[in-house]
């Protein structure tokens, strides 16, 4: 069905479906399962130390012979070391967020890795295309985790029209209807994150999985705007505490500490 799809041909995958690289819960178990099923599984590097990331990559290599990738958060304090790890491990696909991967593109392309950054605006998409990336993920504000301000429906067709490389649609997509809508807007593939939280292979705490399952249209809030890093999260006791601390002027370090390990509690 998708044998002529540009993303499937580029990456060697069966279905044009990416599993979003979710920090803390986008582990080797989930990434390898998605890749084995024909999609593109992604390890979420987040703030993972380099040695821990290498271990996850090697697990994936042991569990699948299919293409997989690593999502690298460019504002991670370990980003240079993380990039060295993915280069040494010759990871087939690198997706990036929270920054411009331009300085790493030549080295990654030299070893044959495909570089696919997440973008939240047309301007950023154009800028990153000029660095030589292979595709972009246009992610709307409906997405979970770190977000931009433009909706998927508004962002996706504008990015498609502005670029020459393929575009993957993301943000608020959770089923075949969302995928069809993204393709109608010009996407060549889609990325889903929250949808995969409910999978058996995801290590998120059962209580969190149940909260995601029960979530409705008004069950999320956006925190972190005062810090310049807005993120969409479930509206619960933790997010209310975060909002209170943010309103009271808590430091970035204090807010980060509040959220550490919360998905496993």
Residue 260 has a pLDDT of 63
In whole angstroms, what is the distance from residue 108 CA to residue 127 CA? 18
Q: pTM score, two decimals? A: 0.88
Does residue 95 fall inside a structural domain?
yes
Expressed as residue numbers, the domain containing 66 is 6-197
Indicate the number of domains in the chain: 2
| Phi, psi of 87, deg, nearest 5 | -70, -45
pLDDT (tens digit, 9 = 90+) per residue, 175-231? 999 999 999 999 999 999 999 999 999 999 898 899 889 988 888 888 777 777 778
Residue 242 has a pLDDT of 83
Do residues 141 and 215 share a domain?
A: no
Residue 149 has a pLDDT of 83
Residue 244 has a pLDDT of 83
Residue 262 has a pLDDT of 54
61 confidence band (pLDDT: 50, 70, 90): very high
The answer, yes or no, to whether residue 86 has pLDDT greater than 90, is yes
Do residues 193 and 213 share a domain?
A: no
Do residues 221 and 174 share a domain?
A: no
Q: Where does a domain end: 170, 197, 224?
A: 197
Do residues 85 and 177 share a domain?
A: yes
Cβ atoms within 10 A of the Cβ of 204, count? 21
Mean residue pLDDT of the chain comes to: 90
Cβ atoms within 10 A of the Cβ of 115, count? 25
Helix (H) or strand (E) holding 94: strand 93-97
Do residues 53 and 171 share a domain?
A: yes
Q: Where does a domain end: 197, 220, 255?
A: 197
Does residue 1 fall inside a structural domain?
no
Q: Yes or no: say if 7 and 188 are a contact pair by the CB < 8 Å rule.
A: yes
The CATH number that applies at residue 109 is 3.20.20.70
| Non-local CB neighbours of 152 within 8 Å, separated by 6+ positions | 138, 139, 140, 141, 142, 143, 169, 170, 171, 172, 173, 182
Do residues 158 and 140 share a domain?
A: yes
Do residues 118 and 187 share a domain?
A: yes
């Amino acid at each position: 069905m998708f044998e002529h799809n540009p993303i499937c041909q580029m990456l060697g995958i069966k279905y044009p479906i990416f599993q979003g690289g979710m920090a803390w819960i986008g582990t080797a178990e989930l990434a390898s399962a998605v890749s084995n099923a024909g999609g593109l599984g992604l390890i979420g590097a987040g703030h993972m130390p380099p040695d821990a990331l290498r271990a996850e990559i090697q697990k994936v290599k042991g569990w699948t012979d299919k293409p997989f990738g690593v999502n690298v958060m460019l504002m991670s304090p370990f980003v240079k070391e993380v990039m060295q790890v993915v280069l040494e491990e010759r990871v087939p696909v690198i997706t990036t967020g929270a920054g411009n991967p331009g300085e790493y593109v030549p080295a990654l392309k030299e070893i044959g890795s495909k570089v696919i950054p997440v973008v939240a605006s047309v301007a950023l998409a154009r800028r990153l295309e000029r660095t030589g990336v292979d595709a972009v993920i246009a992610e709307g504000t409906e997405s979970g985790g770190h977000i931009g301000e433009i909706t998927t429906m508004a962002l996706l067709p504008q990015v498609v029209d502005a670029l020459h490389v393929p575009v993957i649609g993301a943000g608020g997509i959770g089923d075949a209807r969302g995928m069809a809508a993204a393709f109608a807007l010009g996407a060549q593939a889609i990325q889903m994150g929250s949808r995969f939280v409910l999978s058996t292979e995801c290590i998120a705490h059962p209580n969190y999985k149940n909260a995601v399952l029960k979530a409705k249209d008004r069950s999320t809030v956006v925190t972190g705007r005062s810090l310049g890093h807005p993120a969409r999260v479930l509206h619960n006791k933790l997010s209310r505490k975060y909002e209170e601390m943010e309103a009271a002027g808590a430091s970035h370090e204090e807010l980060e500490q509040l959220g550490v390990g919360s998905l496993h509690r």
